[in-house]
Structure 1
Amino acid sequence: MNDRQLNYMLTILREGSISKAAEVLCISQPSLSQMVRKIETEMNAEIFTRYSNPISLTPAGEYYIKAARDILNIEENLSRAVHEIAAGSRGTLKIGIPVLRAMEIIPQVFPKFHEKYPNVKLELVESGSDRLENQVMQKEVDLACLTTSPKINDLEYILIANEETVLVAAKSTKLAHSVPAGTPISIMDAAREKFIYIKKGHSVRITQDHLFAACHLRPERLFSTRSIEVAKRSLAPCNAVMLCPKNYIDMSPEIYEMCVTYPVREISHERHFYICRRQDQYLNNYVRDFIRILKPDYDAKS
């Protein structure tokens, strides 16, 4: 059993079939199938249940895959620790982060980080919150800065800030004319307003979809955009409303000249700002210190 075989087996599980894994790995399906049979013969047990779609693990396979991940993580952590000793404070730190979140924190964090670690390259992988946890699990990024609710046991979620999602309404809307700004409302109070949607992939869209489904609400949609910046600046000209994390409105104080905000009573799907990392990940000094710039009292578990 070697690293190549372990990675191949993990790829089969991730892709859901031997044929898809063979495409990703750029090898032939018969060769990959032969390798799986060879390993199962050596283990004297089947690892995959092949008749399921996607492919699933047998009880023996679950133990094998857990051991495979443990072995690869130990080797990776050892390599990182030795590299840190040999190279000192040099390397690349990959941060997964949504674009708007990067606009908020990178101007604050990067100067402090770069001053302490001038030889560490900070690489931003800009992605939606809905993809970032998987990118951490797949080791595509070292850390992720995202708005979410903790749900993956293999990740450590480091709370940076509690966030409130509010309804933002142009001052020209009927809602703004009838309800004072800052008054807690029911989402049904805005049922007849025109909404600007954030496209799927952003955390606020998850909150919105939960809310609308729970309240059986299907309001008029003016348009959808991936950009909260586009949406919030379109509210007043379009006489519209939107759901948005309040901190993103606070980032642009001029918006309050044209819009008002309301807490929404039905929002119970709590999503806050976290940094997340793998529980089994080795943290070198510059990774720890990046976290501590945002969370000064952070004490890593490993």
Structure 2
Amino acid sequence: MNWNQLQYVITIAEEKSITKAAQKLYISQPSLSLSIQALEKETGIPLFERNRGEMKLTYAGSLFYEWAISTIHSHTQLEWKLGDIVSGSRTLIRLGLSPHRSERLLAPVLERFYSMYENCDIQIIEQPTYILRQMLEEDKLDLILDISSPDTINYESELLVKESFVLAIPDSLCPFSDPSQKEEDISATPQIHLPALSAIPFILLSEDHDLGKISRKICETAAFHPNIRCICTSSNTAFSLARRGMGIAFLPEIYARTTSFPDILILRYSIIATTA
């Protein structure tokens, strides 16, 4: 089976005639007939019914016809893309980001990107941050959407959005008398001083996780020593445990803005600096 035979089947099916198909393909009628017979022998099933000189597709032939159309179209698209790459007019960008950022940031970013750069293909790789940074080091990624890297020598960073963090507090542990009074707008949610939460358990991420480092830095700046009940390696696990009433979890604000937590109160925190 070869590409010519696929085109032969398509042309005969459309022209419904060996003679007309041969004329359109610029080959002799006997050569075309022999090629189709060889293809039917290879597939082991008739592709055409011959009735009074008219060629009609059998059921198997119809399936083969649809497959041939799809295959040739895919092959043509590939040739165009490879040609664009060779000519330098088309580029593949390997983009890495964490699953929670992918779910909440990717669609608007790609929509804007494709409106500006039509001749680019993007390969999306979703992995935890530490794997993405390793892949970037190994030149397996071109860029990542992540918290800014302190390495400004090997990498260039461009600020896309400022990411804030909030507290996800289970209703059962809420320090307020009426946790049902929740604000839909996170910017309007009340602030709470971290030291006021000293009696409530916290769920933190491990220190090799960016959010784990950031949450500890926040607590350190506030001279606050959280009552750590559990340390996780996954943000999703921490949020899941918070929903089960296990403790308070730090949450990226973008996650809180795009996710509904009926049993969780989202609060902004304030840091009170200690004085000597």
> Structure 2 matches for 1:26-175, cutoff 5 A?
86-110=86-110, 120-130=120-130, 132-133=132-133, 135-148=135-148, 150-175=150-175
| Structure 1 spans left out of the alignment, 5+ residues | 1-82, 269-302
Aligned counterpart for 2:270 among listed residues 253, 261, 265: 265
Summarize deviations over 1:216-247 as a string: whole Å, max 9, x none. Answer: 5141324524133x433442332521111111
Q: Hey, what does 2:252 align to over in structure 1?
A: 245
- Structure 1 distance, partners of 2:92, 2:170, is 44
Bigger Cα displacement from structure 2, 166-175 vs 205-214: 205-214
The verdict on how the C-alpha distance between 1:85 and 1:129 changes in structure 2, with shifts beyond 3 A counting, is: closer
Q: 1:219 aligned to 2:227? A: yes
Shift of 1:207: 0.7
Summarize deviations over 1:151-196 as a string: whole Å, max 9, x none. Answer: 5233221111112111111122142438986332222222221222
The verdict on how the C-alpha distance between 1:216 and 1:232 changes in structure 2, with shifts beyond 3 A counting, is: closer
- Structure 2 distance, partners of 1:201, 1:94, is 24
The verdict on how the C-alpha distance between 1:266 and 1:133 changes in structure 2, with shifts beyond 3 A counting, is: farther
- Structure 2 distance, partners of 1:136, 1:149, is 12
Q: Comparing both chains, which one has the higher relative contact order based on Cα–Cα distances under 8 Å and sequence gaps of 6 or more?
A: 1
User: Contact (CA 8 Å) 2:190, 2:267: kept in 1 or not?
Assistant: yes
Shift of 1:212: 3.6
- Structure 2 distance, partners of 1:84, 1:210, is 48
User: Contact (CA 8 Å) 1:171, 1:260: kept in 2 or not?
Assistant: yes
The verdict on how the C-alpha distance between 1:200 and 1:87 changes in structure 2, with shifts beyond 3 A counting, is: farther
- Structure 1 distance, partners of 2:146, 2:140, is 15
The number of aligned residues is 183
Q: Hey, what does 1:292 align to over in structure 2?
A: none
Shift of 1:112: 6.0
User: Contact (CA 8 Å) 1:186, 1:265: kept in 2 or not?
Assistant: yes
| TM-score, structure 2 normalization | 0.54
| TM-score, structure 1 normalization | 0.50
Q: Hey, what does 1:183 align to over in structure 2?
A: 190
User: Contact (CA 8 Å) 1:150, 1:157: kept in 2 or not?
Assistant: no
Q: Hey, what does 1:46 align to over in structure 2?
A: none
User: Contact (CA 8 Å) 2:165, 2:251: kept in 1 or not?
Assistant: yes
Shift of 1:145: 0.4
User: Contact (CA 8 Å) 1:132, 1:146: kept in 2 or not?
Assistant: no
Matched to 2:229, the amino acid is: R
What percentage of aligned pairs have identical amino acids? 18
- Structure 1 distance, partners of 2:151, 2:192, is 29
The verdict on how the C-alpha distance between 1:124 and 1:200 changes in structure 2, with shifts beyond 3 A counting, is: farther
User: Contact (CA 8 Å) 1:169, 1:260: kept in 2 or not?
Assistant: yes
Q: Between Structure 1 and Structure 2, whose CA radius of gyration is higher?
A: 2
